[in-house]
Structure formats: structure tokens, C-alpha cells
């Protein structure tokens, strides 16, 4: 049976042609990134640059490349207002008159790049004009692409979650209405930092262990959240001594993932508050986060 392509899916799921154009552009770039990752060890584009981004991370060559490719792909779309990216200090205004803002972590899982391991691209799209500091509930679209043994796109247009596998240059629909399973065998957290966790996070950790859950942690949010989406369980990045407000960035890492998790029937909470309701006060703001079914 022939499978539905991403473009066919978009045709039947949204009438907003600008949104469609933005999603198609972003996913075309993800195809390029997937190919780049596949051949990076041959092309010597692994390794770090001399630059440090706003969050204090050393930019990898592939972080910068992915960011530049995303920016370039959006340049020609007049409806795009600005790009908010992990790798850019400020909102990059592409078209004053455009209304759509794109939030992205161009390459998530930097520490996995050089070891041929799982990475991802995260994106959110909101029709919010000159307002960039919006709560995640205002995202019209959220998605991520997982670069792993298969390249997979997970997408929500605000009406359930679908996923697509890249095959011969096309993203093909493989799952619709993804719902996080009620229970899961795994918990996922950087447990090496547990001595720095607050009491609530320590209690959660103890409870998960008491329930007999096993630990899985990849160091790439996209990959750890993909497990939660398909297998249930919990992924969290709490406050620690080195990151007193959490490490993960609200606008372009957490919010798109939180939107997907909620659309899949799960919960995203930050310090007792529904994450999608938080209005950020700065572009690269971080918050503690936990993602789970219940």
C-alpha cells in the first residue's frame, strides 16, 4: 500500500499555506542535516568551533551549520517574521511584515554528534508577530526530527501527534494519533547530578526506583522524549547546583516538546506549574522540566 507523504498529510490537515510552506522548508533542511550527519565523519565536519553560544555551550561545527541552513531555508518565505534559535543571541528578524516566528534547537544532543549517536532538530511555529516571548500554548505547530537508525519526524498541528519516517527523500506517514502509554518501564534523568537535586526531585527519583523502573538516558532531549512518547515513563531535567533554573531552554527546546507531549495525552510540568502556561522573560530562559503520562 502506498504511504501518505508529509506533503499530502499537510494538504489534508491545514488550509494555512504559509504554515505548510514553513513546515516543508524546515523538514527539507532536516533531510539535509540527516545526510550531513550520515557523512560527517568522512567530511571532517565533526568537532567544535571556537564559539560559545548564549547558554554557555561550545558550538559544534554541525550546530552552526544546521542553524545556518535553517535560517537560509526561511529567508525566502515572506510570512516568516523572526527566527529564535539556540545558536543565535537575539531574535533574527527575517521579514518585518511577516507574522510567523520559528523557534528552533537546530541540533539537539551536541555531545552525541562526534560518536555517531542520536541527535535531533526541534522546532515550534507561532503566528505571534513581534511577540517572541510567548507561552508554549500559543505554538501553532511543534515538531522534532530524530536522527537515529531511522530519521523520524514527529509533528503536531494542534490536533494529535503524527510521525513520519524518511525514505528515499520523502517523509512517509507511519503513525497517527500517538498516545503515550499509561505505564512505562523506564525513567530518564541525568542521575549523576542527583546529589544536587531538590527534595521533590529526589522523592520522584526514589519513587521511580521503588516502582522498579530502569534508567535510560541518552543526553539528547529528542531521543529521551521519543522513548517517553512511544514507551511511556518519565523524562526530567530538574534544578541542580550548576543549573539552578534547570538546563533546558523553554522557548525552543521545552515548549515544542511540551506541546507534543500534551497532544499525546501526557503532562509537562515545571516547578508545579503547567509548562505551556509560562510566559518567558528572556529568549534563552531555562526552566526545570518533567515530562510524563501522569
Check if 198 is active-site.
Answer: no
Question: Which residues, numbered 229-268, are part of the site for ligand AHG (CB under 6 A)?
Answer: 247
Query: How big is the site for Mn ion, counted in residues (CB under 5 A)?
Result: 5
Q: Which three cell numbers stand for residue 289?
A: 522540566
124 annotated to a ligand binding site: no
Q: Which is nearer to ligand AHG, 73 or 218 (CB)?
A: 218
C-alpha dist (Å) from residue 40 to 46, 68, 114, 148, 231: 6, 16, 9, 14, 30
* 199 burial via Cβ count (<10 Å: 0-12, 13-18, 19+): exposed
The answer on whether 37 is annotated among ligand-binding residues is no
State the DSSP code for 232: -
Letters for 13-52 (x = contact with ligand AHG by CB under 6 A, - = none) are ----------------------------------------
Q: Judge whether 202 is annotated as a binding position.
A: no
Give Cα 262 distance to the centre of its chain. Answer: 14
114 is an interface residue for ligand AHG by CB under 6 A: no
- Can you state the percent helix, strand and coil of the chain, rounding each to 5? 35, 30, 35
The question of whether 35 is a catalytic residue gets the answer no
Is residue 226 a contact residue for ligand AHG (CB under 6 A)?
no
Q: Is 51 helix (H, G, I), strand (E, B) or coil?
A: strand
**Which of residues 16, 79, 105, 262 is near Mn ion by CB under 5 A?**
105
Contact window for ligand AHG (CB under 6 A) among 3-11, 13-21, 156-164, 215-223: 215-223
The answer to whether residue 86 forms part of the interface with ligand AHG (CB under 6 A) is: yes
Q: Is 87 in the site for ligand AHG (CB under 6 A)?
A: no
- Of 6 and 26, the one with the shorter C-beta distance to ligand AHG is 26
Q: Are 235 and 288 a contacting pair, CB within 8 Å?
A: no
Is residue 253 among the annotated active site residues?
yes
| H or E segment to which residue 122 belongs | strand 119-127
**Beta-bridge partners for 187:** 215, 234
Q: What distance in Å separates the CA atoms of residue 44 and residue 191, rounded to the nearest whole number?
A: 33
d(CA 207, CA 239): 18
Residue 247 interacts, among ligand AHG, Mn ion, none and using kind-specific CB cut-offs from 5 to 8 Å, with ligand AHG
Task: Establish whether 86 is a catalytic residue.
Answer: yes
Q: Which is nearer to ligand AHG, 16 or 86 (CB)?
A: 86
**Binding residue positions for substrate:** 108-111, 190, 217, 247
Amino acid at each position: 500500500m502506498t504511504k501518505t507523504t508529509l506533503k499530502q498529510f499537510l494538504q489534508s490537515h491545514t488550509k494555512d499555506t504559509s504554515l505548510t510552506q514553513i513546515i516543508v522548508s524546515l523538514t527539507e533542511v532536516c533531510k539535509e542535516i540527516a545526510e550531513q550527519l550520515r557523512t560527517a565523519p568522512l567530511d571532517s565536519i565533526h568537532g567544535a568551533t571556537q564559539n560559545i553560544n548564549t547558554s554557555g555551550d561550545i558550538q559544534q561545527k554541525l550546530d552552526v551549520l544546521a542553524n545556518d541552513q535553517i535560517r537560509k531555508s526561511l529567508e525566502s518565505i515572506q510570512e516568516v517574521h523572526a527566527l529564535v534559535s539556540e545558536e543565535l543571541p537575539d531574535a533574527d528578524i527575517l521579514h518585518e511584515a511577516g507574522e510567523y516566528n520559528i523557534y528552533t534547537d537546530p541540533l539537539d544532543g551536541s555531545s552525541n554528534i562526534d560518536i555517531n549517536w542520536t541527535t535531533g532538530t526541534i522546532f515550534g511555529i507561532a503566528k505571534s508577530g513581534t511577540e517572541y516571548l510567548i507561552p508554549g500554548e500559543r505554538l501553532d505547530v511543534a515538531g522534532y526530527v530524530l536522527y537515529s537508525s531511522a530519521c523520524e519526524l514527529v509533528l503536531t498541528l494542534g490536533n494529535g501527534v503524527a510521525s513520519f519516517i524518511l525514505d528515499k527523500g520523502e517523509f512517509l506517514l507511519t503513525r497517527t494519533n500517538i498516545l503515550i502509554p499509561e505505564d512505562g518501564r523506564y525513567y530518564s534523568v541525568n542521575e549523576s547530578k542527583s546529589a544536587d537535586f531538590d527534595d521533590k526531585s529526589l522523592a520522584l527519583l526514589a519513587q521511580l526506583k521503588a516502582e522498579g523502573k530502569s534508567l535510560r538516558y541518552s543526553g539528547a532531549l529528542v531521543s529521551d522524549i521519543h522513548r517517553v512518547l512511544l514507551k511511556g515513563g518519565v523524562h526530567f531535567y530538574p534544578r541542580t547546583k550548576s543549573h539552578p533554573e534547570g538546563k533546558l531552554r523553554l522557548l525552543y527546546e521545552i515548549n515544542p516538546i511540551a506541546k507534543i507531549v500534551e497532544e499525546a495525552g501526557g503532562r509537562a510540568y515545571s516547578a508545579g506549574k503547567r509548562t505551556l502556561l509560562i510566559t518567558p522573560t528572556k529568549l534563552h530562559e531555562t526552566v526545570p522540566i518533567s515530562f510524563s503520562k501522569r
